[in-house]
Amino acid sequence: MRTSSTALIDGAKILGVEADDYKESPSRGAAHPAVAPQGLQRTPLSAVLITLNAASQLDACLASLAFADEILVVDSGSTDATVEIAQRHGARVLQQAWLGFGPQKQFAVKSASHDWVLCLDADERVSPVLHDSIAKTLVHQHSSRHTVWRMARANVFMGRVLRHGEGYPDWSLRLFHREHARWSDDMVHENIVVPADTAVGTLAGDLMHESSETLSIYLAKQNRYTDLQAQRLFEAGKRAGALRIALAPLVRFFKFYVFRLGFLDGVPGLVHILIGCQNSMLKYAKLRELHDGVAK
């Protein structure tokens, strides 16, 4: 039986490899190659990511992955300089027509040269402390029972690193042995699927999500995401009435802005959460629209 990463994090035993009170700096620096102590062999690693017209973000991402034994970029037809940038960083580039977020990422995992994979998006960077934690994990992996590792994801929104609300720690399973975990088949909001009894290790340091897009671009992307979410709910036979459409954004606001202290992130935190609340409303409103269209 398999379960989602969200359920797993709630129920599985989470073990840290560094002090839990570590506080990551939002600064970014180029990663340096990981060197194993004398007498120890480091487990080889493939860093994999999917791209489409990611030239404006890709350079910093790949620079932070310089320690990996392989960088694999699966592109779905970029028309900008994405492929050239990837090749300049020594990445192996494969072309694959778009399959949806989950299937596309799983294709990349299967295509990697090594069993241990680190999965990133083009707008993410490995922080120096996270890099060191990954390097230490790979050196000692032969004596570890963990086959899946999670890391905190720090979102940079409107120029500010969000440390509360739904923006942090945003735990993400990204480092794993591909025989023990896989990406889900979801077209959007994909996640890592692992066996229910898996013990998940915790890495120190942050995965920095540094989107450089404007609010207009960000909102357009969220609009596309809610289209896909509504379609997925529709295909699963789900319905949404007026009560759900009205309450979903309210519940989300109180959960993340009040109870998870999103108000401490200032105006960027407020805007981030309000957009998330809008998304909660829109996906159910669009679901209702899909059902109304069938009924006509």
pLDDT of 166 reads: 86
pLDDT of 165 reads: 92
Q: Taken in order 60, 64, 67, 70, is the CA torsion positive or negative? A: negative
Please tell me the number of Cα atoms within 13 Å of 20 on its side-chain side: 4
Please tell me the number of Cα atoms within 13 Å of 47 on its side-chain side: 25
pLDDT of 27 reads: 34
CA distance linking residue 218 with residue 186, whole number of Å: 21
* 267 Cα distance to chain centroid: 24
Whether residue 6 has pLDDT greater than 50: no
Whether residue 8 has pLDDT greater than 50: no
The model's pLDDT over 91-139, given as tens digits with 9 standing for 90+, comes to 999 999 999 999 999 999 999 999 999 999 999 999 999 999 999 999 9
- pLDDT confidence of 39, banded at 50, 70, 90? low
Residue 51 sits at φ, ψ, to 5 deg, of -140, 155
CA distance linking residue 124 with residue 155, whole number of Å: 9
Which range scores top for mean pLDDT: 5-19, 27-41, 42-56, 187-201?
Answer: 42-56
Burial class of residue 39 in the structure, from the number of CB atoms within 10 Å of its CB (0-12 exposed, 13-18 middle, 19+ buried)? exposed
Residues 6+ apart with CB under 8 A from 253: 273, 274, 277
Whether residue 22 has pLDDT greater than 50: no
pLDDT of 201 reads: 96
35 and 61 Cβ atoms separated by less than 8 Å: no
The model's pLDDT over 243-283, given as tens digits with 9 standing for 90+, comes to 999 999 999 999 999 999 999 999 999 999 999 999 999 99
Residue 111 sits at φ, ψ, to 5 deg, of -85, -10
Higher pLDDT, 4 or 197: 197
The model's pLDDT over 172-224, given as tens digits with 9 standing for 90+, comes to 999 999 999 999 998 888 999 999 888 899 999 999 998 767 899 889 989 99
pLDDT of 41 reads: 81
Residues 6+ apart with CB under 8 A from 255: none
107, two tokens: 């294709």
Whether residue 4 has pLDDT greater than 70: no
The model's pLDDT over 137-178, given as tens digits with 9 standing for 90+, comes to 999 988 888 999 999 999 999 989 999 998 799 999 999 999
pLDDT of 128 reads: 96
CA distance linking residue 92 with residue 8, whole number of Å: 32
Give percent above pLDDT 70 in the chain: 85
- pLDDT confidence of 20, banded at 50, 70, 90? very low
Whether residue 14 has pLDDT greater than 90: no
Higher pLDDT, 31 or 234: 234
- pLDDT confidence of 80, banded at 50, 70, 90? very high
Closest CA to 240 of 179, 289, 167, 185: 289
Residues 6+ apart with CB under 8 A from 191: 4, 5, 6, 102, 173, 183, 184
- pLDDT confidence of 296, banded at 50, 70, 90? low
pLDDT of 43 reads: 95
What mean pLDDT, rounded, does the chain reach? 87
pLDDT of 212 reads: 62
Residues 6+ apart with CB under 8 A from 237: none
CA geometry: angle at 32 spanning 30 and 38, to 5°? 170
Residue 91 sits at φ, ψ, to 5 deg, of -75, 150
